[in-house]
Structure 1
Amino acid sequence: RRLTDAGVSVNAPMRALADDEFLTLLHVLSCRTCIPNGTRVLAELLNRRANPDARSSLGATPLIFACLHKNVGAVQVLLDSNASAWPVDDHGRNAVRCAMIPDPGVPNSEEVAVELAELLGAAGAPLNEGGAVAPIVEAVMQHNVLALRALIRLGATPDGLNEAVLNAPVTMISDLIEAEANPFIRDATGKTVMEVALARGEDNITTMLRDYIGDLERGGHPHLKTRNQQGGFSSTVDEP
């Protein structure tokens, strides 16, 4: 407070020790849960017109830092100050996607990701937009079952079935099927979800998908439009 009273800008750029990225003080406080009274200082800076959407030299906002480092208190304070969850950093990540990425230094990081998803969802954050990868797909790639279920419950589109079939726990595949994920979307290499399943080689997964696709066909589900547009597996076609 004495520094700001003396005229020091609350948005002045700084460079942390041994770090090439220029940050603001909000960034530093947002990523460090160990600072005593850190959230109180954060709130004071925001009250003194610190920019909640300030960008680091690599495009990250304080909210991105807070989500990445699982600083729940900082996330709440920033959202209360109308920080935006839309900005994407130079690594192709926004705040919601960063909330899904585990921090090895944070105990129970998977559970914290759920808490962050709920905070972000309640604030109207874009749950289907994560930058280069959707948050729910990031949750699948991180094998975070709890976060996947939280995002589905909060209304996120159930994407990521291809990624789940590739190597995720079977329960994640079941959760996505129950949420009516689209099985006709091809992955980045052009493979169908059934081709990915056959390559994985687990009969229970192949059977689960075949039954699911058959149910969609019998019910005339709108997902069939995707298959008709780009071609895909039919439950009536024999496996190679």
Structure 2
Amino acid sequence: MSEPSQQVNFADKETGVKSHPIFEAVKAGLLIPVQTLVETQGLPVLTLRDDKGHTPAHWACLGGHTAILRYMIENKIPIDEPSSNELGARPIHWACVNGHIAIVDILTQAGVELDAVDNKNCTPLIVAAQYGQTMLAGYLMGKGARLQLTDKDGDNALHWAAFKGHNELMRLLIYSGFNPRQKDNFGQTALHLACINGNITAVQELCEQDGVEIDIPDVNGKTPLQLAIGRKHDKIVNYLKKEVQTRNSILPRIDCWAIIFGPPGNSKGALLFFLVNVVLWGYPMYIFKCFPLTWNELPIYHLTFIFTNVVMWICLYHANTVDPGFLPRNIPEYDLAIKQVAHFDEWKQGQNPLSRLCHTCRTVKPIRAKHCRVCNRCVKEFDHHCPYIHNCVGYYNRVSFTGVCITMTLMGLQTIYFSHYVLSIEGMSWYQIDYLVGFGLLAFFLLVASCIAQTSIYHAAVNLTTNERINFKRYNYLKDGKGAFYNPFNRGLKNNFLEFLHLRPGMREEDVTLLGVHVV
């Protein structure tokens, strides 16, 4: 398998050769200058080729300039001519590089073949796989793209997705009917290519598929494990060795390390660090040193401290164990959405029926939901994944998580007061190691807890999640008619807190969409 040749051509688009003004206008997506050039120089200007052999249609498709492309179609300009170079890519291939579904839809409606190939036999679906364009791949398959087609090396879209490490796209392709056991001309399966690339998640996904062999050699006698060893992908090597042992063993393997410290990528380290410090250092210091010295003088403070601890443990247990809002997987609506792609004709309006799909969970995400890469699940009103509770923060545990942060902050302040009181009795023995360690740990936990507590309260006050605040540019429902940030969920301080505490229902998705349309 060789790297996609399109990358070389696109990287060379800026050259020292002065090109015709039509190419600069098309690249910039400026329709009026294009029309002006046509009026002054005639329609043939739209059929010129640059120094690399590409037409203006290529550049319009690469940039996603629908207005210019429609102008070409209205004037009967050829929009399916291959580049006059070694690769011979067509405009539809260039549209697939950047995942422009609307462009591909316009091209196919104008008669361009959905399975058009370049000189390396790459179809639009294969190009989409090379560049990780998951939604475009779903569109192409929904429109009827042939899955069995391969390039000249015998690699299909799944081979490329595995080689490039596009995990979500890989899951969609397997779900849509691609065979993970299929070999290319070099005798390599998708697993071989994932091991070459070094993507551990892709390797794990493929090994979990029924019938996938992990010790099958290619034409050079190399197994996936040998390929990973040769490229020093240590995580993949360790995983495949364990997988071979598991498959060859008649007894189920028990991974004690994963049980105690969590599976790879979802470690319990942060939670265990907190528990060990509190249980093995904090509480012994309080019980054996602070409590005997200060109980008689500060009984109310101690009762308050104990009460805060009880509330903290209750909130921590709830935040850690409760379902944060995991969405159901493998739902019928997902299959229906995939099937409806072929009948959806509103791409030109910017609408995308695939944008809400999660191909890992095979579900349709409602507004404000997001897939957590750590938990590998879609979460309702996803906020963030917190390692200190070893769980996602979502719709059903956001209150208890905020409770954990607030109570930890209060406990930290109470501990500072107790420490000061004890030191005033015993003297300022700062050289004692237990005080030095204690104040260091206390400062760390207090800083983390107080910052997160303030952030959580602020987000509750304005009715936003951490994910939405950080990634608001990705979500159209957080933009007004001019594209500026707009929060449709903010209904005032009182109502926002009531909704956060589940004492008032949230806004319906229909209401949010309506607001987004009318805000200017």
The question of a shared fold, defined as TM-score above 0.5 by the shorter chain, is answered with yes
Q: Name the structure 2 match of 1:57.
A: 84
> Are 1:189 and 2:216 counterparts?
no
Amino acid at match of 1:86: D
Residues 185, 214 of structure 1: CA spacing in aligned structure 2 closer, same or farther, 3 A cutoff? same
Pairwise mapping of residues 127-146 of structure 1 onto structure 2 (< 5 A)?
A: 127-131=147-151, 132=153, 133-146=155-168
Amino acid at match of 2:71: E
Distance 2:216 2:74 in 1: 46
Q: Name the structure 1 match of 2:53.
A: 22
User: 8 Å contact 1:76–1:119 — kept in the other structure?
Assistant: no
User: 8 Å contact 1:30–1:74 — kept in the other structure?
Assistant: yes
SS in 2 for 1:23: coil
User: 8 Å contact 2:195–2:224 — kept in the other structure?
Assistant: yes
**Which of 13, 28, 45 is matched with 2:72 structurally?**
45
Distance 1:209 1:94 in 2: 36
Amino acid at match of 1:68: V
CA displacement at 1:10 relative to structure 2: 8.2
- After superposition, the C-alpha distances for 1:139-186 in whole angstroms (9 at most, x for unaligned) are 112111111112112222224111123343332123223333642653
Amino acid at match of 1:174: Q
Distance 2:176 2:77 in 1: 30
Amino acid at match of 2:193: E
Residues 213, 73 of structure 1: CA spacing in aligned structure 2 closer, same or farther, 3 A cutoff? farther
> Are 1:203 and 2:238 counterparts?
yes
Pairwise mapping of residues 66-105 of structure 1 onto structure 2 (< 5 A)?
A: 66-90=95-119, 93-102=122-131
- After superposition, the C-alpha distances for 1:175-227 in whole angstroms (9 at most, x for unaligned) are 22333364265335332335435655623222324645889xxxxxxxxxxxx
Which sections of structure 1, spanning at least 5 residues, go unmatched? 103-109, 216-240
Distance 1:197 1:25 in 2: 43
- After superposition, the C-alpha distances for 1:81-122 in whole angstroms (9 at most, x for unaligned) are 3422434334563322221233xxxxxxx4xx1111011111
Distance 1:50 1:181 in 2: 49
Q: Name the structure 2 match of 1:238.
A: none
Which sections of structure 2, spanning at least 5 residues, go unmatched? 1-34, 181-188, 251-520
Residues 52, 8 of structure 1: CA spacing in aligned structure 2 closer, same or farther, 3 A cutoff? closer
Distance 1:117 1:9 in 2: 34
Question: More helix per residue: 1 or 2?
Answer: 2
Identity of aligned residues (%): 22
User: 8 Å contact 2:149–2:156 — kept in the other structure?
Assistant: yes
CA displacement at 1:52 relative to structure 2: 4.0
**Which of 194, 199, 207 is matched with 1:177 structurally?**
207
CA displacement at 1:53 relative to structure 2: 2.7
Distance 2:248 2:140 in 1: 33
Distance 2:176 2:90 in 1: 24
Distance 1:213 1:47 in 2: 64
SS in 2 for 1:97: helix
Q: Name the structure 2 match of 1:219.
A: none
Amino acid at match of 2:240: I
The higher relative CO (CA closer than 8 Å, separation ≥ 6) is in 1
User: 8 Å contact 2:61–2:92 — kept in the other structure?
Assistant: yes
Please identify, of 173-182 and 119-128, the stretch whose mean Cα deviation from structure 2 is larger: 173-182
Amino acid at match of 2:118: D
Which structure has the bigger radius of gyration?
2
CA displacement at 1:63 relative to structure 2: 0.7
Distance 2:248 2:113 in 1: 38
Distance 1:181 1:42 in 2: 45
Residues 141, 43 of structure 1: CA spacing in aligned structure 2 closer, same or farther, 3 A cutoff? same
> Are 1:116 and 2:136 counterparts?
yes
> Are 1:125 and 2:125 counterparts?
no
CA RMSD of aligned residues (A): 3.3
CA displacement at 1:27 relative to structure 2: 1.1
- After superposition, the C-alpha distances for 1:18-51 in whole angstroms (9 at most, x for unaligned) are xx32223321210113xxxx21331332344344
Amino acid at match of 2:198: A
